[in-house]
Amino acid sequence: MKVLERQIKFNKKIILLLFPLSVILVYFSSKLPSITEKIYSNGVYKFISQILSNITGIVPFSIGEVGLIIIVIICTWWLIKNIIMILKIKNNIVKKLLKLSYRVIIAVIIVYFIFNFIWGLNYYRLPFSDIARIDIKEASTDELAELCEYLIEQGNTLRTKVNENNAGVMYLPNGHKDIFNRSYLGYNNASAIYPELRGRYGKPKGVIFSEVMSYMGISGIYSPFTAEANVNISIPDSMIPSTTCHEMAHQYGFAREDEANYIAYLTCSMHPDVDFQYSGNLLAIIYSMNALYKYDAHRYWMLYENYSDGIKNDLKNISAYWSHYEGPIEKASDKLNDTYLKINRQQDGVRSYGRMVDLLLAEFLKNKTQKRK
């Protein structure tokens, strides 16, 4: 019995050591991004994630989603059970509460360590602009407007080649599963230029409770514990290809949201199929035009008139869709997501998504300069 007690105490000490170990890992990873990039992101993470992703990829549904539901049920049952037990036992209530809190802390420490080891350290790898050798510089409002004009012109051409329904809105005739099956093609093409986008991972998966995700204002979510790219399949069809590529960017080890957006645009634009190309272009238009609106609303409305009827219909459809789900749940989820991003050193929180435009501008201006030469 004493041996068992000593073993339990020893295990608790090991578990408690995981927290300072996690803090040390995060600290040194953030201070040494080049080493994090080489050893962790392109080494440890890639090895673990590809094995895990291909195992979970055997199952057609999201193991991460099912696992989360089971964990929520178990945790709720465990919490209710312990609260009832504490209320029944009138003596030593404080001691029981401390014991309960201790168990919760231990569980959080374990999850935090595992999260960082199998995924979280990717937040501290080199910026994608460094990896892709994209020189980000300050750009004028005129240059931003020029980018928007270019994207709109491209978008109008691509929009004529996609399928649309009777309401004049883009739709996917073969559904979201067909998108998931073809999504890797854009990454294959992009990996020829960016080796960091190479890898063999399980296919993206649609979320069963997609409606719940919509109420939370979430288009997709990456499950680091199962290495699955999960997509909200109830969102408008025009955004499913780009959202899929966004979640795949996380799967490939790019944790920052702004970079995942840019990689989604990049891999969609390099995809051989027009539905991906258009979806990626539409994503870029949305972010670039939103940025322009902040600095020059008059020019925004002038360029808006250049949208084809098809793009206008798709944007109205997207806006109407999300308006339907606005409410306290969506606001609470947004605050939670904002806090999560700040904890992982994305200091601007949700606003950091705007940095995608810097990457788009840098690429656009670079190509423009090369054409002149």
pLDDT in tens, 178-188: 999 999 999 99
| pLDDT above 60 for 346 | no
The residues, any chain, with a CB within 8 Å of residue 229's CB and separated by 6 or more, are 201, 204, 205, 220, 222, 244, 247, 248, 250, 251
102 lies in the same domain as 201: no
Last residue of a domain, one of 124, 149, 167: 124
Q: Which residues of 126-138 are buried (b: 16+ CB within 10 A; e: fewer)?
A: bbbbebbebeeee
Q: Measure the CA–CA gap between 224 and 226, rounded to whole angstroms.
A: 5
97 lies in the same domain as 133: no
Host domain of residue 52:
2-124
Q: What are phi and psi of 206, to 5 degrees?
A: -80, 145
202 lies in the same domain as 343: yes
- For residues 220 and 80, the model is more confident at 220
Answering whether pTM is above 0.75, one says yes
- Structure token pair of residue 301: 């409305």
Strand partners, 220: 231
137 lies in the same domain as 175: yes
109 lies in the same domain as 133: no
- For residues 341 and 326, the model is more confident at 326
Read off the pLDDT of residues 75-109 as tens digits, 9 standing for 90 and up.
Answer: 888 888 877 777 776 666 677 777 777 778 888 88
Neighbour tally for 328: CB within 10 Å: 8
- Structure token pair of residue 34: 């080049």
Question: Under a CB-based contact definition with an 8 Å cutoff, are residues 369 and 135 in contact?
Answer: no
Cα distances (Å, whole numbers) of residue 146 to 12, 166, 180, 289, 366: 60, 33, 33, 11, 13
- Per-residue confidence (pLDDT) for residue 107, from 0 to 100: 83
**Total domain count for the chain?**
2
Residue 251: closest CA among 117, 30, 50: 50
Last residue of a domain, one of 94, 124, 154: 124
Question: Under a CB-based contact definition with an 8 Å cutoff, are residues 62 and 208 in contact?
Answer: yes
